[in-house]
Structure formats: structure tokens, C-alpha cells
Amino acid sequence: MTHLVIQAPDLSSEAVEHLSRLAKAKKTMELAPGAVRLVEADGAPAVRAEVAAYCQQAGVDWAYVAPGARLADWKILAMDMDSTLINIECIDEIADMAGLKPQVAAITEAAMRGEIADFSESLTRRVALLQGLPLEALERVYAERLRLNPGAERLLEVARGLGLKTLLVSGGFTWFTGRLKHRLQLDEAHANELEVVDGRLTGKVVGAILDADGKAAHLREFAGRHGAPLSRAIAVGDGANDLKMLGLAGLSVAYHAKPVVREKTTHALNVCGLDGILNWFEDTLG
């Protein structure tokens, strides 16, 4: 027996009725505005394929969940930063301050799609273009452009309240992850450190670059320090650089992600905010 959770910012009654029939659900249960649980839904592979196809066309997020699933049973919540926890790619916005956003964003997009296999090379190329920028550029990006993605604060607050340890691990920069760690009361945060001399970026990164292998290593070490098996870890990301971290977690979430990521995760949110994750669990409602 399994349940099917469907959700969308504007979930129509037609979509609920169609999916209920498709999944042969025993009944429907409203969880929150725009979120419905289809109780005892058919989880056969052929039905799942039909559900997935309809939801993609209708703009609906879907997830099969076990009855009685509890977020409190999970131990770790690990998240990527750029375009996952927050709404921007920080390096693209820093580059915009120097009039170089198109050049840097093109490399960023190719890396996220997995077209540039060596993340370290792609980051090195992008950071080099930032040489000479004053630290004020980073201040402006944080103050004027960086916003938390919808549902981020609620997801983290509920997870923290249920005892999960929170980890932010990013191929971005410590200048931003450090501020977000303090702001959101995260347990730990890791990223790349930009080299600064006399208040300006040198175009280099200090030390080894935190890439896909680094993200996975941080999750493994963090879980180990907290005595948590990786099977009890939830990881959330959106780009190819997150895949190794996502692959370690018992529950992996592709958040508004590239196709290569959606294909390789256990769950996906394509239209809802990060707090859509909470609707998959029965101890996070109400």
C-alpha cells in the first residue's frame, strides 16, 4: 500500500480528480492549500509512468510516499545553495557587477547541465573573470539580489524542530554560505573561499575547489559525526554538481532541477517551493 501526494501552486480540482482515477485511490485528503494526498494509490510501474506523464503536462508535483512516513525518522537535511536554497547563482550576479554576466552564466549553465565534466575547471575559468572586483560587489549581490527560495525557511524550521541536523554544502562561496548559516541557524556550511587582497578579488580560489566529490565527502563526514546512516539523510540539489551528494542520500530531491538531475533522484519538486517536501510526511502537517 502506498499514498500519492500531488501538489501545485494552483492545483485544480480537475487534476485531483483525474489523478485520483488514474491511481485508483481510495479517497483524497487535503493536506494544505494546493496539496492533496491520494490515499492507497496504485503504485505499479505502469501507473507511475502515467502519473508522471500527466503531472509533467499539467504542472503538478507528485511523489509516492509510504503510509505513516515521518520527517522525524530522518536525521540529516543537506542542501545545495545556488538555485536551491537561494534564487540566484551567486557567481553570475557577481559577474554582472563587472558587466560579465553573459560570459560567466554561459559557463555556469553548461556546468549545471553536465556538459562541462570538470567542475573545478569551470569554476576556475569563471572566478578568473572576477579579478579586480571590490568586495562591495559581493555585498550588493547579498543585499539586492539574493533571496531565499519559497518555503526554505519553513522547511528548515520544521526540520530543525524535529531534530534533523542541517548542512549547507555549495560549489559557491563561503562569503555567502557563512551569512546564510548564521541567518538560518544551520549546523554546518561549506563552500569555496574567494581570495581577497586589499579588498578586491584576485580571481583565484583559496585551497582545493569544493566540487561534486567534495560535496559528497562533506555529507558523508557530517552524517558520520552525527551518528546518522546516509540512508537517513535527505539531500536537495538542482545541478549536475550535486549528483554525487544526492546519490548518497536515502531521499534525494531534485529542486527545479536540470533534466540530468531529475532523472537520477528519488523525488522532484518542479513547481512547488521547498516546503513541498513537508507534505510527504505525516508529522509535519497542521
Handedness of CA 238, 62, 266, 153 (dihedral sign): positive
Asked if 256 and 237 count as a contact pair (C-beta separation under 8 A), the reply is no
Query: Does the active-site annotation cover 82?
Result: yes
Burial class (CB in 10 A: 0-12, 13-18, 19+), 226: middle
Partner residues linked to 205 by β-bridges: 194
| Catalytic residue (one of 61, 80, 242, 275) | 80
Burial class (CB in 10 A: 0-12, 13-18, 19+), 82: buried
| Catalytic residue (one of 82, 92, 96, 211) | 82
The pairing of beta strand 27-32 with beta strand 35-41 = antiparallel
Q: Containing H/E element for 107?
A: helix 101-112
Q: Containing H/E element for 195?
A: strand 188-197
Residue 63: HSE in the Cβ half-sphere, 13 Å Cα cutoff: 27
Q: Containing H/E element for 267?
A: strand 267-269
* Helices 13-22 + 45-58 axis angle, to 10: 170
Q: Give me the active site residues, please.
A: 80, 82
